[in-house]
Each structure stands twice: as structure tokens, then as C-alpha cells.
Amino acid sequence: MCILLFKFDPRPVSKNAYRLILAANRDEFYHRPSKSADFWDSSNEILSGALVTNFLTADLDSYSYLKKVSVEGHLYNGFNLLAADLNTTKGDVICYYGNKGEPEPVFLNPGIYGLSNSLLDTPWKKLQYGKQLFTEVVKRSQDLTKEDLVQELLTVMNNQEPQLPDPAIEDQGKDYIRPILNKYAAVCVRCPGYGTRTNTVILIDSEGRVTFTERNMINADVSQWKTSTYEFKLHT
């Protein structure tokens, strides 16, 4: 059960403020083969885990791409997509589409949002608690160094306090989830053989400078982690 939290502010009034603050966990089986995020080629223009290649390589704005996806959204199992156009000169736009929700994508207003294994801002207790912790850090973001902000966001994403009872999670997971509900209902999931194996933090400041930090579990061992950080500037 992955979780993603982000604050979107396309026109920060202070140079110390951030246009985007994003923190996310990827939860899956520890032994499932996967690759860390990396630049695709020598051009260093695309940094990702190669899961959304069509949008990253298409010559479409975020809304047009999600609109195209929504036409066939009913053919697939449940999924959520966030797509953004972050452009210093034209202004920032973030759009959302979930194929189990509204039939067309929507533009997101500035604010703080959360996403887990349901639609955007579905009020699961773990998501609400994660947003609360995230918001507390974001409020202090301008007073923190970039490095301290990243570390505090990583602390939020590794919180293992179960948020129970939560009938919504129980209902979705049914018999599968009940034996591990105490672990599953936390921001950071830690079950035998399954759980949070990647933390991602993305910061984009008022000048378009990007800091991308990824923390990955090594060898399916919860005591071993590798942290990688990339810094670059958005194209205008």
C-alpha cells in the first residue's frame, strides 16, 4: 500500500519557499526485482524509475495526457496518475486522474494533498495522519536547511504508528488484510516479506532548482538502505 504526500504552491511569495514538496513510499514485496530511479541516458533529461514513460517522452501537456489516458481508463484495474507541468515562465500546473473516480482529469489548486490505495484524499486514517505529520514539517520548511527538510520528511515517511480502527482499510483489504492490519495501517508498512522499500522526497524551490532524494532497501534487508540524491534545474 503505497502512500504519497505533496504540497503544491505555484507562486511562492518567498525565495526560501518551495513550489513543490513531495514525499512518497513504495510498498511491495521485498524480493520483487526493481530498479532505482536514475537518468535514462547521457542527456540527463529524464530521471525516474521508468514507470510512466509515455508521459515523460510525449509532447503533451499534463492535462491532455491524462485526458488521453482517461478514454481507456475503464479497461484497467484501479490506478491513479499525477502529472505536472512545472515551468518557471508559464506557471506550474498539476493534474490528477483516478480511473475509479471522476471520468475526466482535474486541475489541482494549490494546497496539501495525500494519495494511497484509493482516490486522491480518500480519508483513510493512515493518510490523514501522514498529512498531519507532513503539514507540520511543511509549515517549518522555510526555516530548515534543505538537508534537514529532507531528513524530517524521511522521518515522516518512516512512521510505523498504526492508525486504528479504520473500517475503510479493513473493507478494501477484507480477509487478506486483517491478519496484518496492525502493520498495514501505518504510513510505513513493515510486514514479513512485504512493506515500504523505497522512500522518495522531491523538492522544487522558487528558482526551479530540484532536489530528488531516494532511499532504497538493499538485499531485502530492512536494516540496510542506500540513499541517492540528484540535483538539477528545471528547463524553462
Listed residue (210, 216, 215) closest to 230, CA to CA: 210
Q: Residue 205 and residue 80: Cα distance in Å, rounded? A: 25
Q: Residue 126 and residue 173: Cα distance in Å, rounded? A: 14
Domain count, the chain: 1
| Interstrand relation of 106-107 and 93-98 (parallel, antiparallel or unpaired) | antiparallel
Q: Residue 187 and residue 160: Cα distance in Å, rounded? A: 6
pTM (predicted TM-score) = 0.91
Q: Residue 142 and residue 54: Cα distance in Å, rounded? A: 35
The percent of residues above 90 in pLDDT, for the chain, comes to: 67
The predicted structure's pLDDT at residue 15? 83
The predicted structure's pLDDT at residue 202? 97
Show the domain range for 131.
3-233
Phi and psi angles of residue 39, each rounded to the nearest 5 degrees, phi first: -70, 140
Query: Tell me, what CATH number does 82's domain have?
Result: 3.60.60
The 10s digit of each residue's pLDDT in 190-215 is 998 999 999 999 999 999 999 999 99
The three cell numbers locating residue 223 = 536494516
Amino acid at 95: C
Residue with cell 514538496: 21
The 10s digit of each residue's pLDDT in 33-82 is 888 888 877 667 788 768 577 788 888 999 999 999 999 888 888 899 99
The 10s digit of each residue's pLDDT in 153-183 is 999 999 999 999 988 888 877 777 777 788 8
Q: Residue 106 and residue 99: Cα distance in Å, rounded? A: 12
